[in-house]
Structure 1
Amino acid sequence: MLTRRSLMLGAALGVAGCSTKFKEYNGPAVTRIQVFKGQRHMQLLHHQTLLRSYKFELGFAPDGHKVQEGDGRTPEGAYLIDRKNPNSSFHLSIGISYPNSRDVAKARAMGVSPGGDIFIHGTPSRVFGQPDWTWGCIAVTNEEMEEIYAMVDTGTQIFLYA
């Protein structure tokens, strides 16, 4: 005889079994992300050990450090992963702590807004494979984003190089 508890447990397991968006990762912690913009290459590291690497797409103006909102550039420098968005318009996303105090001061001195909302995120199928289409974010495939989302915690250091 089925009890209410067994029905609820079965329903919960059924829902969990249908979800492929959220992966589990049980390996070494990602302690550092390195992004090489010019090479379109990102590395996830555990200290000095390479765990995974990915190719990616950038903003529509990929050269140089992000200076102001709408410039289509991706920041360069040292930041942190400061948030995770499971409901991203781009499948899944993890936020980069741009702008920092230096970025804000530089933008204010120029009389502009530094912008924000810079993420590593998935890719809508209608734009995948088109080079440099984001507004300054780092775009990987949705499958890769699922892996990155599972591996990277908030507080992880990210270094973005030219």
Structure 2
Amino acid sequence: MWLGRAFLVLMLAFGLAACGDKFRTYNGPEVTSVQVHKSARKMYLLHDTTILEEFNVSLGKQPVGPKQFEGDFKTPEGAYYISHKNPKSQYHLSLGVSYPNPRQVEFARSQGKSPGGDIFIHGGPPRPVDRWDWTAGCIAVTDKEMELVYSMVNSGTVIHILP
């Protein structure tokens, strides 16, 4: 009888450990910039010129070219900063990207359109998708990878999104 209870307690402990907390602690070198290389589908977290972490990424459904308008399914290109952290993202965790800048807003308005917004680095889709590039313009990694990115990158960090 006690063996059965011990086994049950052990299984419960392993089950709870597997659930884990999505908020990790990071104590390494500061991430001074993030680089996304769209054509290579790579994201790098850097401390000065040293790569701390490298990730494969998914992009907007139309990955070639810079985002110009709301609904174009393109990922922006240019220099931005991480605007905020979103612990309650519908995509596990997310980091806001400061798109659009004033020049991009002005261009879109001159064309009678909205530049869009709500660009994030975020976790994987809530359901399986049938293509590599699946976002509406965001940069996506797996949920487990996003936990690490979220712990390492602070608001205000520069992000360079390259073609």
TM-score, normalisation: structure 1: 0.87
Superposed, 1:140-159 pairs within 5 Å as: 140-159=141-160
Q: How many residues align?
A: 146
Counterpart residue identity of residue 148, structure 2: E
Offset of residue 131 of structure 1:
1.1
Give the Cα–Cα distance (whole angstroms) in 1 for the partners of residues 45 and 84 of structure 2. Answer: 17
Matched, 1:45 2:62: no
1:148 offset after TM fit, Å?
A: 0.2
Distance 2:94 2:81 in 1: 14
Structure 2, unpaired ranges of 5+: 1-16
Task: Deviation per CA, 1:19-47: give whole Å up to 9, x if none.
Answer: 51000000000000000000000000000
Identity %: 55
CA distance in 2, matches of 1:61, 1:109: 22
**Aligned equivalents of 1:126 and 1:80: distance in 2?**
29
Q: List aligned pairs for 1:68-147, cutoff 5 A.
A: 68-124=69-125, 126-127=127-128, 130-147=131-148
Q: What's 2:34 paired with? A: 33
> In angstroms, what is the RMSD of aligned CA positions?
1.3
Unaligned runs of 5+ residues in structure 1 are: 1-16
Residue 127 of structure 1: how far off its partner (Å) = 2.6
Q: Which runs of structure 1 show a deviation greater than 3 angstroms over 4 or more consecutive aligned residues?
A: none
Q: TM-score, normalised by structure 2?
A: 0.86
